[in-house]
Chain A
């Protein structure tokens, strides 16, 4: 397999937070381009840390992380924004901006990366359409239901047409019907070639979709 077809490669990666025990220990794994992978494990097993390492929000204490063949662990502060433009991030705490409407929330990544306004507006509407929020574009995030807020997060993550989508507990606070809808969305992105990484401890979801699963146990890979 060529280097380019590996979207994400971890080689002997450990992460230790200051004053805490090791969050990840000697992780080596490869995720191919176009794969849809679940990362599971108990809470505190290191799922979020793994995603944060991919997005260069954290840096590994040892080992190397490659994303699209680029060594993220040796990335300079200047290089980080350009890595993140290839990624779509969905956070556990959502990180929506409540001082602006749905449309502006989704448009933010496009403006931040220098898209012309008209193009950005068009692509924002396309993203909102994909998650079924086009009619709510003028609404404030507080006015949305939990499921709608999650879809808003997804729209913001995909608006930049990322090659890799990282989602941290995207179905955590949703009932199972909604969770299925969200999962179907990830599936459809995956079908058009997006590599999707989902951290979850939702067993039902995994049983339903039968994806590739990476299981973490106290910061170590387990089968």
Chain B
């Protein structure tokens, strides 16, 4: 056990020493992996931000029922009780046409336009909050409400949120495919790097085998090399994304001024960063495993 730990320390320091001895090629390798990683990481980061933004929007399924302009008061009362009695309805709120107009008047830039109107063009309306956002039940309710006497038009307000959700799902799939492909690229890069390492160290490996080193001892430094390369690549990739987000945030702030909002892209959470570094190291390890299995075997079959 002690010997085993000592071997690991030796391998680790050997590997770090070897990397430090060839800083240019180590840096180049880390850069290649970092750039490869930056693409899916950046896409993922943007996706997470958009998702967080859309999550802050009201996703409660709502419907607006606009009434025919000719409706009279008693119609409204009976309609309201009918709506309340419907299954799948959580709450019902009546917005009279005068209240709607008053609300619109309060909106910035609208006051003058509204004031110039000779009569109120807005209809009375019900805002119905649904119990579930299930598209089928929403559709059913929409059809049922449309058929009610006095209802001129039904609008499902939460539809566009669902559309964003659909787009986000598409984005997630795209990022997943991208990450998968570039994960392959990372494995391939480590595979090749380790192959070169094995070739340049073939004499040392041969001598080690001849003086009684075990296969595990000979392979270990390569695994450290691949793993550390993966970690360095992840750090480079994360740095690229962080820099990109930093510059984008400056532009976004400028853009946000026109809309009176203060948007900003958030960087990955610490647990996300840890997971990214871990997976990158894992991919480096995998590339090493494949490479070492293939190339060390060739070597020992002298």
Specify the main secondary structure of chain B where it touches its partner: helix
The answer to whether B211 and A77 touch across the interface, beta carbons within 8 angstroms, is no
The answer to whether B211 and A112 touch across the interface, beta carbons within 8 angstroms, is yes
The answer to whether A156 and B210 touch across the interface, beta carbons within 8 angstroms, is no
Interface pick from B2-10, B34-42, B103-111, B132-140: B2-10
Q: How far apart are the CA atoms of A160 and B213 in the complex, in Å? A: 12
Name the residue on B nearest A99 (C-beta): B204
The answer to whether A160 and B204 touch across the interface, beta carbons within 8 angstroms, is no
CB distance from A86 to the nearest CB of B (A): 8
The answer to whether A114 and B210 touch across the interface, beta carbons within 8 angstroms, is no
With a CB–CB cut-off of 8 A, which chain B residues contact A97?
Answer: 203-204, 207
With a CB–CB cut-off of 8 A, which chain A residues contact B4?
Answer: 114
The answer to whether A114 and B211 touch across the interface, beta carbons within 8 angstroms, is no
Q: Would you list which residues of chain A between 63 and 101 have a CB under 8 Å from chain B? A: 77-78, 81-85, 87, 89, 91, 95, 97, 99
The answer to whether A160 and B3 touch across the interface, beta carbons within 8 angstroms, is no
CB distance from B202 to the nearest CB of A (A): 11
For residue A109, CB closer than 8 A to chain B, the reply is yes
For residue A108, CB closer than 8 A to chain B, the reply is yes
The answer to whether B212 and A112 touch across the interface, beta carbons within 8 angstroms, is yes
Name the residue on A nearest B211 (C-beta): A109
Q: How far apart are the CA atoms of A95 and B208 in the complex, in Å? A: 10
Contact with A along B207-227 (1 / 0, CB 8 A): 111111111010000000000
CB distance from A115 to the nearest CB of B (A): 9
The answer to whether B212 and A82 touch across the interface, beta carbons within 8 angstroms, is yes
The answer to whether B214 and A81 touch across the interface, beta carbons within 8 angstroms, is yes
Query: Which size class do B's interface residues fall under?
Result: 10 to 19
With a CB–CB cut-off of 8 A, which chain A residues contact B217?
Answer: 112, 114
For residue A116, CB closer than 8 A to chain B, the reply is yes
For residue B206, CB closer than 8 A to chain A, the reply is yes
With a CB–CB cut-off of 8 A, which chain A residues contact B208?
Answer: 108, 112
Q: How far apart are the CA atoms of A158 and B174 in the complex, in Å? A: 61
The answer to whether B212 and A95 touch across the interface, beta carbons within 8 angstroms, is no
For residue A111, CB closer than 8 A to chain B, the reply is yes
CB distance from B12 to the nearest CB of A (A): 13
The answer to whether B210 and A55 touch across the interface, beta carbons within 8 angstroms, is yes
With a CB–CB cut-off of 8 A, which chain A residues contact B211?
Answer: 84-85, 89, 108-109, 112-113, 156, 160
Asked if A81 meets B212 with Cβ closer than 8 Å, knowing A114-B3, A114-B7, the reply is yes
20 A-B contacts (beta carbon < 8 Å) = A55-B210, A78-B214, A78-B215, A81-B209, A81-B212, A81-B213, A83-B212, A84-B211, A85-B211, A95-B203, A95-B207, A95-B210, A97-B204, A97-B207, A99-B204, A113-B211, A114-B3, A114-B7, A114-B217, A117-B10
Binding site for A on B (CB under 8 A): 3-4, 6-7, 10, 203-204, 206-215, 217
Binding site for B on A (CB under 8 A): 55, 57, 77-78, 81-85, 87, 89, 91, 95, 97, 99, 108-109, 111-114, 116-117, 156, 160
Given A89-B210, A89-B211, 9 more pairs with CB closer than 8 A: A84-B212, A85-B212, A87-B212, A97-B204, A97-B207, A108-B204, A109-B211, A112-B213, A113-B212
> What 3 A-B pairs have minimum CB-CB distances, sorted nearest first?
A112-B213, A85-B212, A109-B211
